A and B are shown apart, each in its own frame.
Chain A
Amino acid sequence: MPEAAESASAPQETATGRVTLRKAVVVGGNRIPFARTGGAYTKSSNQDMLTAALDGLIARFGLQEERIGEVAAGAVLKHSRDFNLTREAVLGSALSPETPAYDLQQACATGLETVLGLANKIKLGQIDSAIAGGVDSASDAPIAVSEGLREILLDLNRAKSLPERLKVLSRLRPKDLAPDAPNTGEPRTGLSMGEHQALTTAQWKISREAQDELAFNSHHNLAAAYERGFFDDLVTPYRGLSRDSNLRPDTSMEKLATLNPVFGKSLGAEATMTAGNSTPLTDGASTVLLGTEEWADARGLPKLAVVVDGEAAAVDFVHGKDGLLMAPVFAVPRLLARNGLSFEDIDFFEVHEAFAGTVLSTLAAWEDEEFGRNRLGLDGALGKIDRAKLNVNGSSLAAGHPFAATGGRIVATLAKMLHENGPVDGRPARGLISICAAGGQGVVAILEAYSAPEGR
């Protein structure tokens, strides 16, 4: 391992003499199959799905009645009543009710951020075990009353007498009764995520064919992984579904080519983004079990990978300086530099496929000399990713993307891939995760296959 990373992972003592930097090990994961919105999980709440994913994890690793250090999860589309979503899911699960939990929300990066936050607590010696997770339902999305009605209802509650109440009610207008449903539009631009990406896709001149090819590979890679049983210890069926319902194992370039564009239709350039090369709205939940080496050993649990480091970035998409989903373009070079790594040192790239255009725009930016010099502050391009190392077991285009659940899906999948791969040139296999998020944000992370220290 390069020097920078080595010094970062060496144990250090605090003033009180306590060793505070330890390895955060990925033990394994569990998710429920992801379902297209309006499908198998239409009647399932976020709490139902998160509890199911937790219970599958508990069953896989025999954690019944176990007090876990902390559980963190979140949802992007969240009901106001779910203020304590994760804790409620823990209470409904087979874990010890003495397990604390908190909710976290960072749009589509929620799942990965829970992993990083909890891994940091483990590294710091605050906890020995943790479960990170995420869940989202676009089917069971919250619908709020309009702002007008909300103000009237609150005033009504404050009104003391009947005349006062009648006066408040007299303000009610028919338009106030229209509900306020959530959408994926950016509050500051009014544009949907797809429309934002369409701008970026056009800016980087990503072809329709390249996007369709990425979607095709995602479906075929995911289907092949299911076929060889790769997900047998990563997925637990739920509500009659045992594979992701968005998966189309028999899709072809010809079929993808027949789909009409759905985003960027107003652009002058030819519109390229279709339902085939964009992720659909999806319902699902995922969890990841983390722990120290000692905690895993004491329970005979596997040690698949270690969480090496993570980095967040954000871009100014509001003024059009960068595309909405391009933050990982900036986060990755910072993360690699801090760890003294380059693309050559990475064996698996997990770039979340919000849209095929997002992945390809990101890769194009990293390959661009001028962008590298002007925007990333490098001598030239960051580098080119070997496409044979990209999303080798499929990603969101095939599996679907229940916003907060995607991070957990990727971390558990990558950890197993790293573990199965074995060492590369005498060093542990290494993987890079890149996830873009609404609000112009992005979170990226490095995982490394677990290898026992000398003498263990």
Chain B
Amino acid sequence: MTDKYTQFVSQGIGKDLAKKLGLPQPAVLRRYKAGEPLAPGPVLLLGNGNASGADELAAALLGWGLDVRRNALPKEKLGAIIVVLDDVEHPDDLGGPVLTAAQSLRDLVPCARVVTISRTSASAASPAVAAGRQGVDGLLRSLAKELRAGATANGILLGGSAGTTSPSTLGALRFFLSGRSAFVDGQFLTVTTGAGQLPADADKPLNGKVAVVTGAARGIGAAIARTLYRDGARLVVVDIPAAGDHLAAVANEVHGTALQLDITAENAGKRIIDHAMERHGGLDIVIHNAGITRDRLLANMDESRWNSVIGVNIASQLRINEALLESKRFSKAPRIVSVASTSGIAGNRGQTNYAASKGGVIGMVRATAPLLAEGGGSINAVAPGFIETDMTARIPFATREVARRLNSLQQGGQPGDVAEAIAFLASDAAAGISGEVLRVCGQNLVGA
């Protein structure tokens, strides 16, 4: 799982050596295991007096069996700090709770969490309110870069009708506190409505759902299938016929059905929904994961490289979504999650075609969200950064080593880390989150 360097510097001689030489010391991250506590220690909940939603939230956290503190005890180790800033009306309001939190940062256990909850600046009534709210953005992203030992900081933004105890606020909070968000760092999730429902069984949030995963034969797609299966979903796994042997192995592992299908086919959407309906009696979740790279500098780009990447990575998703949304048999409140890429956000040398397709995915997700809103459906994207896959294993050693370390967690993510973010966004707990792009990149230091 963890790369060899991280293993070496995590213990014994390697740990001492790395410390003395000032080498990066990536931590072995805390990852989700069924039945493990949500946070690795007591949770400190901070907020500005009684006006904020902190009290309501405290009640909810206690309900989850968390050890909640409203004031830090001297020398007590903490598993997480939650800073509720939903009542910030001026940059001056930030100092109180933030400086209180600062005093406890050194008490955080390894792989602890800091989570802020604040309001979106877009919905601010005045420049001062907007300044205060937007200040949280810079604060949080900087703090994430300061935390060590696998700890992360992420923020929840409340927009529209969402409050601190809306189902999706709580869902996002659970996601950020848990090991499911191991490789998500310095990111925000915006909750826009009070929609959503927390699962009856926290370890089986997708019970009874039928999910389709494209590109599921290997890598991130296979990890998505495994994670959705673990979370209780029934699976249809899709990949091109030539990848059928790997696909069959995944299908048998996740007790699903294998559908050998080229997603660029004109009737791919219909074939997916036909299969899901006939074999599983419904279709609730669609994960658009299939993607290809055909890297070339734009100056050397040819038509076939450009077109095949656009065709597979975005045009097929548009066509399939169109077919699904037209179909009367598709879930009225579907959860659609697309795999984008940090290349589509920040750009990447040699990937103009790929970045165009992944930027396209983000555009599509934002524009599709309003179409699904009425029925209670949602669509989001997850943008992976450097993930340890067969594909990244082929990058030359030096380049790979640099790419892997250039993030706040100083390591590459695992396919399962991307899968966890997708599984969360595919759950009903995330129904109030739509049109969002969540990066799973360990907070890349370069680019956006």
Question: Which residues of A are in contact with B by a Cβ distance under 8 Å?
Answer: 52, 55-56, 58-62, 64-65, 94, 229, 231-233, 235-239, 242, 299-302
Contact B252 A58 (CB under 8 A): yes
Q: Does B244 contact A (CB under 8 A)?
A: yes
Contact A237 B257 (CB under 8 A): no
Please name all residues of chain B whose beta carbon is closer than 8 Å to the beta carbon of A232 when the two chains form the complex: 241, 260-261
Contact A61 B257 (CB under 8 A): yes
Contact B245 A62 (CB under 8 A): no
Question: Which residues of B are in contact with A by a Cβ distance under 8 Å?
Answer: 241-245, 247-249, 251-252, 255-258, 260-262, 265, 278-281
Contact B280 A300 (CB under 8 A): yes
Tell me the minimal C-beta distance from A451 to chain B in angstroms: 17
Interface centre among A55, A65, A231, A235 (most CB of B within 10 A): A55
> A-B pairs with the 7 shortest C-beta distances?
A59-B248, A59-B251, A59-B258, A94-B252, A62-B257, A236-B244, A242-B242
Contact B248 A60 (CB under 8 A): yes
Contact A238 B258 (CB under 8 A): no
Contact A238 B278 (CB under 8 A): no
Please name all residues of chain B whose beta carbon is closer than 8 Å to the beta carbon of A299 when the two chains form the complex: 279
Query: Known contacts A300-B278, A301-B279, A302-B278: does B255 contact A236 (CB below 8 Å)?
Result: no
Closest residue of chain A to B250, judged by CB?
Answer: A59
Tell me the minimal C-beta distance from B342 to chain A in angstroms: 32
* 22 CB < 8 A contacts A-B: A55-B248, A56-B244, A58-B251, A58-B252, A59-B247, A59-B252, A59-B258, A60-B248, A60-B258, A62-B251, A65-B255, A229-B241, A232-B241, A236-B245, A236-B258, A237-B241, A242-B244, A299-B279, A300-B278, A300-B279, A300-B280, A300-B281
Question: In the bound complex, how far is the Cα of B279 from the Cα of A58, in angstroms?
Answer: 13
Contact A62 B255 (CB under 8 A): yes
Contact A237 B256 (CB under 8 A): no
Closest residue of chain B to A236, judged by CB?
Answer: B244
Please name all residues of chain B whose beta carbon is closer than 8 Å to the beta carbon of A237 when the two chains form the complex: 241-245
Contact A55 B252 (CB under 8 A): yes
Tell me the minimal C-beta distance from A91 to chain B in angstroms: 14
Closest residue of chain B to A60, judged by CB?
Answer: B258
Please name all residues of chain A whose beta carbon is closer than 8 Å to the beta carbon of B257 when the two chains form the complex: 59-62
Question: In the bound complex, how far is the Cα of B279 from the Cα of A233, in angstroms?
Answer: 14
Please name all residues of chain A whose beta carbon is closer than 8 Å to the beta carbon of B261 when the two chains form the complex: 232
Please name all residues of chain A whose beta carbon is closer than 8 Å to the beta carbon of B258 when the two chains form the complex: 56, 59-60, 236
Query: Known contacts A56-B244, A236-B260, A242-B241: does B252 contact A64 (CB below 8 Å)?
Result: yes
Question: In the bound complex, how far is the Cα of B247 from the Cα of A238, in angstroms?
Answer: 11
Question: In the bound complex, how far is the Cα of B242 from the Cα of A60, in angstroms?
Answer: 14
Tell me the minimal C-beta distance from A6 to chain B in angstroms: 30
Please name all residues of chain B whose beta carbon is closer than 8 Å to the beta carbon of A52 when the two chains form the complex: 245
Contact B245 A56 (CB under 8 A): yes
Contact A235 B244 (CB under 8 A): yes
Tell me the minimal C-beta distance from A287 to chain B in angstroms: 12
Closest residue of chain A to B252, judged by CB?
Answer: A94
12 further A-B pairs in the complex, CB-CB below 8 A; given A61-B257, A237-B244, A301-B279 = A52-B245, A55-B248, A56-B245, A58-B248, A62-B257, A229-B241, A231-B241, A236-B244, A236-B258, A236-B260, A238-B245, A242-B242
Tell me the minimal C-beta distance from A239 to chain B in angstroms: 8
Closest residue of chain A to B276, judged by CB?
Answer: A300
- Which listed residue (A55, A62, A239, A242) contacts B249, Cβ 8 A? A55
Closest residue of chain B to A238, judged by CB?
Answer: B245
Question: In the bound complex, how far is the Cα of B243 from the Cα of A231, in angstroms?
Answer: 14
Contact A233 B245 (CB under 8 A): no
Please name all residues of chain B whose beta carbon is closer than 8 Å to the beta carbon of A94 when the two chains form the complex: 252
Closest residue of chain A to B241, judged by CB?
Answer: A232
Tell me the minimal C-beta distance from B381 to chain A in angstroms: 28
Closest residue of chain B to A56, judged by CB?
Answer: B248
Tell me the minimal C-beta distance from B173 to chain A in angstroms: 35
Please name all residues of chain A whose beta carbon is closer than 8 Å to the beta carbon of B262 when the two chains form the complex: 229
Tell me the minimal C-beta distance from B334 to chain A in angstroms: 20
Tell me the minimal C-beta distance from B210 to chain A in angstroms: 11
- Which listed residue (B241, B256, B281) contacts A62, Cβ 8 A? B256
